[in-house]
Amino acid sequence: MKEFNPEYLDRLKYIISEHDEAEARKELADLHPADIAELYQDLDLEEAEFLYRLLDDETKADVLMELDEDDRHKLLSAMPAEDIARQVIDHLDTDDAVDIIQELDEEDRDEILSHIDDVEQAGDIIDLLKYDEDTAGGLMGTEMIVVNENWSMPQCVQEMRKQAEDLDEIYYVYVVDNDYKLRGVFPLKKMITHPSVSKIKHVMETDPVSVKTDTPIDDLTLDFEKYDLVAMPVVDSIGRLVGQITVDDVMDEAREQSERDYQLASGLSGDVESDDTLFHQTRARLPWLLIGMLGGIGNSLI
């Protein structure tokens, strides 16, 4: 993580105050989205908005996903629904897009969805919004490579190339039957060792580890650790492949759960960040402090 010293921040704030877009773009050019999100914590909303407008659409989407929920909500609240749809949602995987949309009011959700040009993407997001956010269905994404067990190797390779054009990362290639039920996983090594096989079901790995859409997130974490996975397919109640969960999604959820547990152990009743004001932190602790005080009084009386 890049460190921003006071001199750097003062210089950047001066550039923003002068509305020097060219110089501000130079400062942002070599920064990772996570660094930009970290930088926003030292800026006020107006300064953050100025820098955010200078980013390209793909970087905007990445920066939003790196921000904490409160800062993300502030930026989104200042953006028109059409801009959120076309500058942010269009450049996110479906699971990340759902995370963003779930944080908004229902009215804002509908308006944003209406501005998404890709009807298939909008449909996938609507389908994912139906799942409980604390289950595999609420965490999965629909971006993955899927092939049919009856395809020949040449046909399989052709279809994989076509599907891969829309993916940033390829973890596994999933094999389904004609009813889209999960049958196995296709190892990429087989493309080299069996280039002319008649049907890929003859070389696929059967019985892959999978989870159902209603599996709790806590169970997912254990499965990823137990089987040392980087991704896991998600199936519906009758075994049809509906999505994929990646290890980075599970790690994010585990970290958030750990933070919530820490806050509860520290006597915090709400979401609190380390840079929140003293008043906000005190207000979050107040209910537990009062309970502790009443318990202490009771013990003294006894």
Q: What's the pLDDT at 177?
A: 97
pLDDT at 1: 58
Query: From CA 129, how far away is CA 237, in angstroms rounded?
Result: 18
Taking residue 261's Cβ as centre, other Cβ atoms within 10 Å add up to 10
Average pLDDT over residues 71-77: 89
Mean of the pLDDT values across residues 65-80? Answer: 89
- Find the mean pLDDT for residues 174-202: 92
Angle (CA) 249-267-291 rounded to 5° is: 145
CB-CB contact of 207 with 185 (8 Å): no
pLDDT category, 273, cuts 50, 70, 90? Answer: low
pLDDT of 283 above 70: no
Going from N- to C-terminal start, the domains of the chain cover 6-133, 145-251, 267-297
Rounded Cα gap, residues 121 and 116, in angstroms: 8
Top-tier CATH class for 145-251 = alpha beta
3 state SS of 150: coil
Interval 139-150 mean pLDDT: 95
Distances in Å between the Cα of 223 and the Cα atoms of 41, 157, 211, 219 are 35, 30, 9, 6
Whether the predicted pLDDT of 270 surpasses 60: no
- Confidence band (pLDDT; 50, 70, 90) for 300? confident
Which CATH number is associated with domain 6-133? 1.25.60.10
Report yes or no: 217 and 134 within 8 Å, Cβ to Cβ: yes
Tokens 């905007």, residue? 60
For the whole model, what pTM was predicted?
Answer: 0.77
